[in-house]
Amino acid sequence: MANREKFTPERRAKFLQNLAETANVSAAARAVRMARQYLYELRDADADFAKAWDAAVVLGTEALEDEAVRRAYDGTLKPVFYKGEKCGSIREYSDTLLIFLLKARNWEKFGDRVRNELTGRGGGPIQNVNMSPNEFREIARQLLDEV
């Protein structure tokens, strides 16, 4: 992999362009033939590079969302074979992607209705109490006896 002197402005631009297209750090690092770990070190050392990196990830994530919408809404063509020969194709849609997109865009209407809440004894608030392991075991035994 290339060393520090080899991270030219051209490589930086190519890395950020690939990151903006894929939102994939590994793929962008391969495109410029540099180690991911080294690029993360550069990111930590350069606030401007970190901001550009974050902006590229946002663009890449938007591209992924656009592709998810396309697959859910327009579908993809899948080949159909008969006796080993391609005889046509069918359009398949992704119901799973559609569900995720609906949840992301309108959680109140399409989000999960399950709520998990923890409560203390008798449905009251959880008590944050420092206790020894023996005290904890005794309370656990009492709770098990109640069941």
Q: Which two tokens stand for residue 83?
A: 């006796």
Range of the domain at 91: 76-110
Residue 59 is predicted with a pLDDT of 94
Residue 2 is predicted with a pLDDT of 44
What's the burial of 92, exposed, middle or buried (CB within 10 Å: 0-12/13-18/19+)?
Answer: exposed
Where the chain has pLDDT below 70, the residues are: 1-5, 129, 147
Q: Are residues 85 and 61 in the same domain?
A: no
Distance of alpha carbon 16 from alpha carbon 34, whole angstroms: 13
Q: Indicate whether 46 belongs to any domain.
A: yes
Q: Are residues 84 and 60 in the same domain?
A: no
Q: Which residues contact 121 (CB under 8 A, 6 or more apart)?
A: 127, 143
Quote the mean pLDDT of the chain: 89
pLDDT digits (tens, 9 = 90+) for 81-107: 999 999 999 999 999 999 999 998 898
Residue 121 is predicted with a pLDDT of 76
Structural domain count, the chain: 2
Residue pair 23/68 in contact by the 8 Å Cβ criterion: no
Residue pair 16/53 in contact by the 8 Å Cβ criterion: yes
Residue pair 21/60 in contact by the 8 Å Cβ criterion: yes
Q: Are residues 36 and 62 in the same domain?
A: yes
Q: How far is CA 91 from CA 62, 65, 71, 115, in A?
A: 24, 20, 10, 37
Q: Indicate whether 136 belongs to any domain.
A: no
Q: Are residues 67 and 9 in the same domain?
A: yes
Q: Are residues 9 and 69 in the same domain?
A: yes
